[in-house]
Amino acid sequence: MANETVFRRYEHNPVVTPAAVPTANSIFNSAVVPFGSGFAGVFRVDSIRMEAGLHTGFSNDGLKWQLEEHPILFECPDPEGPEPNADGRFQYDPRITPIDGAYYVTWCHYPDGPQGGHAPAIGLAQTRDFRRFQLIDANIAYLNRNGVLFPRKINGAYSMLHRPSDLGHTPFGDIYYATSPDLVHWGRHRFVFGPRGGWQSTKVGAGPAPIETDEGWLLIYHGVRTSCSGYVYSVGAAILDLEKPWHVRYRTRSYLLAPTEPYERVGDVPSVVFPCAAIIDENKRVTLYYGAADTVLAVAYANLDDIIAFTKENSF
């Protein structure tokens, strides 16, 4: 058993494997929310062609999942708007944020594939039933990843965390904050934080939608360090000011979760834990969904108060 900090891994990890979709090479970095009497999710499925796509899935308990075999086909109501990927390819690492009765999905995508000449961008779509998804016009400038919406307006505006990127596997990364009056026009960018020493010395990126607490917005994020054998992804947390989220109140110097288990260390990309969703129940239990080794989806549990206490006590 690996050393634990605040999170306790689900004893039957991983909860989703490539067996869930017949043509899957790997299923990981996926987002989950409560929906109806159960749960719904948008899952990153890399096919046996090694093309990433987004698939919907449903579950009664959040652990046993039924995934759709085919990728989401996004609707674009504006004929002059962004072109959806008709075959659902080259879309990955989704997050889901409920806002005012709708569910907003953000993800990283290449408009016409990574070899098509376009840089990666943040996709945005709305759904109410996880059956139909409407694209919202291209948001945030190209060369960007890890776009995550806040679950409510802040000072009258929609808000997002994002990380500028490059054409490839970004060897750098800072988190920025931006606002929008309509989810289309984004601006007022503010630097939030960037890499620090140790497990987050190379780059950082926002994870699940920020969680509103009395202490501020709790942001669970991933940090990356460069080792002799490549990148190592771990999980940390920060507490951001409620009204000015670009002001960081606390940030973990120690990680909350790092790749230690075999399914986290061995896979298509070794030594990765990548958080994409966090669900809080009435007992303040946080269920964290994270991609492991870019191959499978896993779950870990923690108490919300314990995460906050750890973040404050282990802050820079």
Q: Which CATH number is 302's domain given?
A: 2.115.10.20
Q: What percent of the chain has pLDDT over 90?
A: 81
pLDDT in tens, 278-305: 999 999 999 999 999 999 999 999 999 9
Q: Rounded to an integer, what distance in angstroms lies between the CA atom of residue 201 and that of residue 305?
A: 27
Residue 254 is assigned to a structural domain of this protein = yes
- Total number of domains in the chain: 1
Q: Rounded to an integer, what distance in angstroms lies between the CA atom of residue 21 and that of residue 55?
A: 9
Answer whether residue 1 shows pLDDT above 50. Answer: no
- Kindly list the distances between the CA atom of residue 313 and the CA atoms of 198, 249, 278, in Å, as whole numbers in the listed order: 17, 12, 21
- Kindly list the distances between the CA atom of residue 61 and the CA atoms of 1, 14, 34, 36, 163, in Å, as whole numbers in the listed order: 25, 15, 10, 12, 32
Is the omega angle on the peptide bond into residue 14 within 30 degrees of 0, that is, cis?
yes
Instruction: Give φ, ψ of 215 to 5 degrees.
Output: -85, -20
Q: Is 90 left (phi over 0), alpha (psi -120 to 50) or beta?
A: left
pLDDT in tens, 55-82: 999 999 999 999 999 999 888 877 766 6
In the prediction, which pLDDT does 200 show?
98
Strand pairing category for 52-59 and 134-135: unpaired
In the prediction, which pLDDT does 143 show?
86
In the structure encoding, which two tokens stand for residue 286, read together?
Answer: 């946080």
Identity of the amino acid at 96: I
Nearest to 96 by CA among 164, 179, 34: 34
Residue 127 is assigned to a structural domain of this protein = yes
In the prediction, which pLDDT does 78 show?
72
Residue 164 is assigned to a structural domain of this protein = yes
Pick the more confident residue, 2 or 268: 268
In the prediction, which pLDDT does 3 show?
46
In the prediction, which pLDDT does 172 show?
87
In the structure encoding, which two tokens stand for residue 276, read together?
Answer: 């994409």
Residue 309 is assigned to a structural domain of this protein = yes
pLDDT in tens, 239-255: 999 999 999 999 999 99
Answer whether residue 6 shows pLDDT above 60. Answer: yes
Buried b / exposed e across 101-131, counting CB within 10 Å, b at 16+? eebbbbbbbbbeebeeebebbbbbbbbeebe
30 contact partners, CB below 8 Å, separation of at least 6: 16, 41, 42, 43, 44, 57, 94, 276, 277, 289, 291, 297
pLDDT in tens, 170-213: 888 999 999 999 999 999 999 999 999 999 999 999 999 999 99
**Would the pTM of this model clear 0.75, i.e. be above it?**
yes
- The range of the structural domain enclosing residue 103 comes to 17-313
Q: Rounded to an integer, what distance in angstroms lies between the CA atom of residue 179 and that of residue 183?
A: 8
Query: Residue 283: how many CB atoms within 10 A of its CB?
Result: 7
| Contact indicator for 237, 215 with CB cutoff of 8 Å | no
Residue 134 is assigned to a structural domain of this protein = yes
Report the range of poorest mean pLDDT among 38-52, 144-158, 165-179, 266-280: 165-179
Residue 5 is assigned to a structural domain of this protein = no
Query: Tokens 């899957």 identify what position?
Result: 24
Mean pLDDT score, 136-146? 77
The whole-chain average pLDDT of the chain stands at 92
In the prediction, which pLDDT does 119 show?
72
pLDDT confidence band for 89 (50 / 70 / 90):
low
Strand partners for 226: 231
Nearest to 237 by CA among 300, 154, 169: 300
Strand pairing category for 158-164 and 248-251: unpaired
- Kindly list the distances between the CA atom of residue 10 and the CA atoms of 1, 13, 89, 297, 300, in Å, as whole numbers in the listed order: 12, 6, 31, 11, 5
Residue 114 is assigned to a structural domain of this protein = yes
In the prediction, which pLDDT does 111 show?
60
Residue 6 is assigned to a structural domain of this protein = no
In the prediction, which pLDDT does 117 show?
52
Answer whether residue 260 shows pLDDT above 90. Answer: yes
| Contact indicator for 238, 248 with CB cutoff of 8 Å | yes
In the structure encoding, which two tokens stand for residue 18, read together?
Answer: 């490539």
Answer whether residue 2 shows pLDDT above 60. Answer: no
Q: What percent of the chain has pLDDT over 70?
A: 91
Report the range of poorest mean pLDDT among 2-6, 168-172, 219-223, 268-272: 2-6
pLDDT in tens, 112-123: 555 555 678 898
Q: Rounded to an integer, what distance in angstroms lies between the CA atom of residue 206 and that of residue 146?
A: 6
